[in-house]
Amino acid sequence: QKEVEQNSGPLSVPEGAIASLNCTYSDRGSQSFFWYRQYSGKSPELIMSIYSNGDKEDGRFTAQLNKASQYVSLLIRDSQPSDSATYLCAVNPLGGAGSYQLTFGKGTKLSVIP
Amino acid sequence: ETGVTQSPTHLIKTRGQQVTLRCSSQSGHNTVSWYQQALGQGPQFIFQYYREEENGRGNFPPRFSGLQFPNYSSELNVNALELDDSALYLCASSLHSGSPYEQYFGPGTRLTVT
């Protein structure tokens, strides 16, 4: 069974610090990786996507991918209270062929303390 | 550009009843995926529709069925509702031929089965 694992948290960081969120996946053939942010009572919002090994930066967010270790992470620099949410890691296990279903982890709850 | 919309927002049904949920995809997107998100869990893939046909299905029983229309909008039908069907139902739209198969979620429909 293809699985995506995340630490459920809660992860608490002080305002202005770097928040580090981690995710591992079991399907070695996975090619596409996504991070979604979900505020309480709302739907998931796509914040980052990554496909190649290495880092991808977008504003305060950096996604890191290591396919050999089957590991993907999200760094949030200068964390703000508005970043407090659940962060979902999602993986496309088929590498883009056929159904583009996403397999999600259970999410990590992040709390940024003012 | 119009985002993904879903209706209704909330719904309360009785065990054994049937329900239909609706989704309009983001403009320019031709693929719709449905997910079920139970409280405290990540979204679980139900099925995906492309060119009005089912294009992949998760581990859900046949009483979960769907349709896609020529304008790419979609319906999710659930028959013989069970208490465990209570969840947030999410519709996501994407572009089938695009890369990286990013999926964008609508606001969701909160279904409560009593």
Residue-wise pLDDT for B9-38, tens only, equals 999 999 999 999 999 999 888 899 999 999
Structure tokens at B14: 């009785």
Three-state secondary structure of chain B: CCCCEEECCEEEECCCCCEEEEEECCCCCCEEEEEEECCCCCCEEEEEEECCEEEEECCCCCCEEEEECCCCCEEEEECCCCHHHCEEEEEEEECCCCCCCCCEECCCEEEEEC
Is B90 touching A (CB cutoff 8 A)? yes
Residue contact B107–A51, C-beta within 8 A = no
Instruction: Report chain A residues whose CB lies below 8 A from the CB of B45.
Output: 101-103
Residue contact A44–B90, C-beta within 8 A = yes
Quick one: average pLDDT of A79-87? 98
Contact criterion met (CB below 8 Å) for B103 and B94: yes
The confidence band for B98, taking pLDDT boundaries of 50, 70 and 90, is low
Structure tokens at B62: 């046949």
Contacts of A5 (CB under 8 A, 6+ apart): A23, A24, A25, A26, A105
Tell me whether residue A59 is exposed, middle or buried, using C-beta atoms within 10 angstroms of its C-beta: 0 to 12, 13 to 18, 19 or more: exposed
Using a pLDDT cut of 90, give the percent of chain A over it.
80
Residue contact B88–A43, C-beta within 8 A = yes
3 state SS of A82: helix
User: Which of B33, B49, B34, B32 lies closest to B85, judged by CA?
Assistant: B34
**pLDDT tens-digit readout, A38-64:** 999 999 999 999 999 999 999 999 999
Q: Provide the mean pLDDT of chain B.
A: 93
User: Which of B88, B106, B99, B109 lies closest to B26, judged by CA?
Assistant: B106
Instruction: Report chain A residues whose CB lies below 8 A from the CB of B101.
Output: 32, 92, 96, 100
Distance of CA B50 to the CA centre of its chain: 13
Q: Cα angle at A88 between A82 and A93, to 5 degrees?
A: 155
Candidate from A32, A45, A106 with C-beta closest to B100: A32
Quick one: average pLDDT of B87-111? 88
Using a pLDDT cut of 90, give the percent of chain B over it.
82
Residue A96: the pLDDT is 47
